[in-house]
Structure 1
């Protein structure tokens, strides 16, 4: 059975981009580009999320040890990003394909206007048959501004562009039900739903060059799959991994998509860290919100405003024990919400269309 996806996000991790000496593996990258070109010829749209700026910089310059890790990373990323995009540009050119550079930070997802600007740009590139090469802007993204890793970024891009699939290429065959080094461990070929606790059997050790381990990948993959996007984690060191995967002809882990959510809800799903305000709701509102019926948050269900917000801000909805129920976009400010607490026949604070319940 082949997978008939039209729009695919492909993520290449730093552990795949680099050799064991930490320098770029041009032969392997060339092989992946060749497969992407073949996929594109089938009429599919591809967005590439690629690590490798720091590794590319490392191949060009030696940095004195007197600089701290963050400064060194910024320097290598700034120099290396030019090399990285030139590498892709030259490799894609062999197949008559144009690629472009899109550098992003977490801030670009925090604000609905930035988010829509970026979505418009990526849509425009795809309309013009260009392959966007997306990477975190490591020059300005330091510490708290960083994505967990490019897996998180790839998940955000997949949600933003309503992709049918996200393919994460790493240096192992998928997610194992135990330590991959043990002969008794096997690749989990299909994962459906949110019921699996990966920490019970996934090693928490990080890959040699990447920021994100397999638990990060698994958790992100579950979230993206819950938004209606198939996620595949596969071994990018295999020669025809992409073409074989799309034919369902390779051992890997496939997270089955379980439901479709609107574009706004997809954005909200990734926005917990960006919420400014917090409101507490009573048990009646909690029951209504978590029922199967489409329900907005009305002031009659509010207990208190725990932190301030403006109209249009993302706010957290918590229950009386301060456990997170959901995220939403405020229809009006905290001051007005305070005035309306407990009152009936008032305008919803969060409309159902702008409400995400994990």
Structure 2
């Protein structure tokens, strides 16, 4: 039996949306009912919910002269109100409150913004309010958007240190082949190095959402590596949350025992904000991977690719361009270039802000 006291549930668009494109109010109500039961048992619950764009599509017909991004912004702006209205009404039936938290990818880029969101979520949970988080599609543009809400749920789960992350879609879990193929079997528990997820999962995306099963699998692996149990299951089935938590259905990714600091968790989740990278030599690579605690010094740097500011999280790559880790840099790229190869200069990436693959 799962004994987690803090759980994040990510709900995909196809769970919350009828075939007609209208929000599935009955399904939303049943999910809230399950959340209410968890809260009665003393469990803190955070929701990451898709569905705003789909809800907007059910209310307004967009004029064809708008480009794709503008259409999404309009639909999200209208639909977010409708979606939260439904959630609020359903929570009130259980004498509970929910809140809306809209974020963008940029909100997670700097440590200060990251902590601001964390403080907000912590405050809501302490006041027995269920945060409902979604990407702010009104202001997000293509290059600054999350890949999907699976990625967002992973960031939030790591941020607030949940014990369990549930990813709900309209599929029962991860199968050995496409679920429609003859002989495809549900993978009840993912065991690393025994299952090739690239072969097993379909990356087919939903009509209303951006994420496919491959995205969920990748998020699950990453979160399990950060010490969070992950469950993937079919959110359109009744009582799915409880069924997943007792492993009655779905695919389970067991958390690996980790002792990772909050700052390192943030660094581990911030790898794709900057396109710049630090190229290091073989000696530095071996030193970083040795049992001894080691920071990245300029003497081990071969070159700097791209530009970055002090405090950015940057990929660290070897001479063959393999990414070996991430690090929060202590100074900007212009200064870093000047110190390449120097032995006596301060660390470019301190060990406390370094995460290795």
TM-score normalised per structure 2: 0.95
SS of 1:273's equivalent in the other structure is coil
Q: State the secondary structure of the residue aligned to 1:274.
A: coil
**Structure 1 partner of 2:135:** 136
The answer on whether the counterparts of 1:276 and 1:314 sit within 8 Å (CA) in structure 2 is no
Look up the match of 1:163: 162
Alpha-carbon distance between aligned partners in 2 of 1:80 and 1:308, rounded to the nearest angstrom: 38
Cα distance per residue 1:269-322 (max 9 Å; x no partner): 221221264222110110111234332112221222333333222222111123
Per the alignment, residue 218 of structure 2 pairs with 219
User: What is aligned with 2:255?
Assistant: 257
For the structure 1 residues 13 and 287, does the alpha-carbon distance in structure 2 shift closer, same or farther, using more than 3 Å as the test?
same
Partner of 2:126: 127
Deviations 1:185-236 (A, max 9, x none): 1111111336643221212221232211111111111111111111100111
> Could you list the runs of 5+ residues in structure 2 that have no partner in the other structure?
none
Superposition map of 1:48-87 within 5 A: 48-87=47-86
1:269 & 1:96 partners in 2: Cα distance?
Answer: 38
User: In 1, are the aligned partners of 2:169 and 2:234 still within 8 Å (CA)?
Assistant: yes
CA distance in 2, matches of 1:89, 1:231: 27
CA contact 1:277–1:313 (8 Å) conserved in 2: no
Work out the CA distance in 1 between the residues paired with 2:305 and 2:180: 48
SS at match of 1:272: coil
**1:54-108 C-alpha deviation (Å, 9 max, x unpaired):** 1211222222333333222211110111111111111000111110000011110
Native 8 Å contact 1:192 1:257 kept in 2: no
On the 8 A contact 2:174/2:200 being kept in 1, the answer is no
CA contact (8 A) 1:194 1:222 kept: no
Distance 1:292 1:197 in 2: 29
Q: Which residue of 1 aligns with 2:296?
A: 297
* Map of 2:351 onto structure 1: 352
- Structure 2 counterpart SS, 1:49: strand
Matched, 1:107 2:123: no
Q: Secondary structure in 1 aligned to 2:211?
A: coil
**Aligned pair in 2 of structure 1 residues 69, 93: CA closer, same or farther (>3 Å)?**
same
* 3-state SS, counterpart of residue 70 of structure 2: helix
Indicate the RMSD between aligned Cα atoms, in angstroms. Answer: 1.7
Give the aligned partner of residue 187 of structure 1: 186
The answer to whether 1:244 aligns with 2:243 is yes
Structure 2 residue 19 is the aligned partner of structure 1 residue 3: no
TM-score, normalised by the number of residues in structure 1: 0.95
Q: Deviations over 1:12-57 (max 9, x none)?
A: 1001010111111111110110000000111011000001111211
**Alignment match, 1:95:** 94
Give the drift of 1:348.
1.6
Q: How many residues align?
A: 356
Secondary structure class of the residue paired with 2:9: strand
Structure 2 CA distance, aligned partners of 1:337 and 1:70? 37
Structure 2 counterpart of 1:341: 340
Distance 1:51 1:331, change over 3 A: same
Give ranges in structure 1 of 5+ residues lacking alignment: none
